[in-house]
């Protein structure tokens, strides 16, 4: 690609780059641009015309994708069940090829904080900063999460363990699809069982829906405790708002503060009864 483009002044080029980044195109894959549409057109033009009966039909393709997803879920269940500790689980997830997000992510984002803490938080999926650093919740929303935790005496350096439902960054920070979450679910469930917290906190709607199976909106279910079966025992699970939502809707921070106080009270109550 030449250094200057006859039609692009620096301001237009910067606006175009911003547009690409917002659209999720944030990874250079090659030095030279490729005209993928032109390449596909050339292949089609070379191919003999298909009779209608031979052309691939959606009904034939869609079940194939469903079968692939189902076998990825079965693989994930089998692999996760075979991991005896968090280090083995992390290695198995890093080697897992069943989730397409791995192909576009920089790396696996497995966990932050102290494994074995009484509190485990589970978010949705890594963003750009987490993808770069390899650690959950290190971007702007992570900083807000740290302040929320600090308000009740919790910190990822001492007494909290953090992970995500999906450990690879979805391109452009989009919400993971239901299929992506279903494929990754056996891993996060096993991660919770192995980390063995006393209280689970789901952060945001996708984590709440995946782990607690609740269908209502997050504003209705937040702030309450639900039973969560880790596989070894039943623990209380609290659904709360996602800090990136709170950055957009600061007027709802009061709800999050109530949730943090409920978490603090639950921790105090369960440590007395143990
Ligand atoms: N949002 C999440 O849900 N998880 C992260 O790790 C970062 C942002």
- For residue 112, the cross-strand partners are 162
Task: Tell me which of 67 and 156 has the higher pLDDT.
Answer: 156
In ligand 1, which atom is closest to the CA atom of 136? 6
Task: Output DSSP code: residue 175.
Answer: P
Q: To test the ligand 1 pocket, which listed residue (101, 112, 121, 130) has its Cβ within 8 A of the most ligand atoms?
A: 130
Distance 173 CA to ligand 1 centre (A): 9
| For the chain, percent of residues with pLDDT exceeding 90 | 73
pLDDT of residue 211: 98
| CATH number of this structure's domain 62-273, picked from the four choices 3.40.1160.10, 3.40.50.300, 1.10.286.10, 3.40.470.10 | 3.40.470.10
Distance 229 CA to ligand 1 centre (A): 23
CA distance 211 to 201: 10
Distance 151 CA to ligand 1 centre (A): 20
Q: To test the ligand 1 pocket, which listed residue (244, 245, 247, 248) has its Cβ within 8 A of the most ligand atoms?
A: 244
In ligand 1, which atom is closest to the CA atom of 242? 3
User: What residues are in contact with ligand 1 under a 6 Å CB criterion?
Assistant: 123-127, 130, 136-137, 141-142, 164, 204, 244
Q: Which of 171, 191, 193, 170 is nearest to 181 (CA)?
A: 170
The mean-pLDDT minimum among 10-24, 47-61, 96-110, 231-245 falls in 47-61
The mean-pLDDT minimum among 34-48, 162-176, 206-220, 224-238 falls in 34-48
Distance 21 CA to ligand 1 centre (A): 18
Q: Which of 207, 211, 208 is nearest to 230 (CA)?
A: 211
Distance 58 CA to ligand 1 centre (A): 34
CA distance 176 to 214: 17
Two tokens, residue 6 = 């006859």
């Amino acid at each position: 690609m030449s250094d200057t483009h006859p039609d692009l002044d620096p301001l237009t080029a910067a606006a175009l780059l911003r547009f690409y980044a917002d659209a999720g195109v944030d990874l250079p894959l090659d030095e030279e641009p490729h005209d993928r549409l032109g390449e596909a057109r050339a292949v089609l033009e070379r191919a003999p015309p298909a009779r209608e009966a031979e052309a691939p039909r959606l009904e034939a393709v869609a079940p194939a994708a469903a079968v692939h997803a189902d076998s990825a879920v079965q693989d994930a269940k089998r692999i996760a069940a075979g991991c005896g500790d968090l280090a083995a689980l992390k290695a198995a997830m890093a080697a897992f090829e069943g989730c397409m997000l791995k192909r576009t992510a920089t790396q696996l984002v497995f966990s932050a904080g102290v494994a074995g803490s009484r509190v485990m938080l589970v978010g949705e999926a890594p963003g750009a900063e987490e993808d770069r650093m390899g650690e959950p919740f290190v971007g702007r929303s992570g900083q807000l999460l740290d302040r929320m935790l600090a308000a009740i005496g919790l910190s990822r350096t001492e007494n909290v363990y953090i992970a995500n439902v999906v450990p690879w960054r979805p391109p452009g920070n989009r919400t993971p699809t239901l299929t992506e979450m279903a494929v990754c679910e056996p891993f996060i469930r096993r991660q919770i069982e192995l980390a063995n917290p006393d209280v689970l906190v789901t952060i945001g709607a996708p984590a709440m829906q995946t782990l607690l199976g609740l269908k209502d909106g997050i504003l209705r279910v937040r702030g309450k405790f639900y039973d969560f079966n880790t596989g070894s025992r039943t623990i209380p699970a609290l659904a709360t708002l996602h800090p990136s939502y709170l950055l957009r809707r600061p007027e709802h921070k009061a709800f999050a503060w109530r949730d943090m106080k409920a978490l603090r009270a639950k921790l105090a109550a369960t440590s007395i009864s143990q």
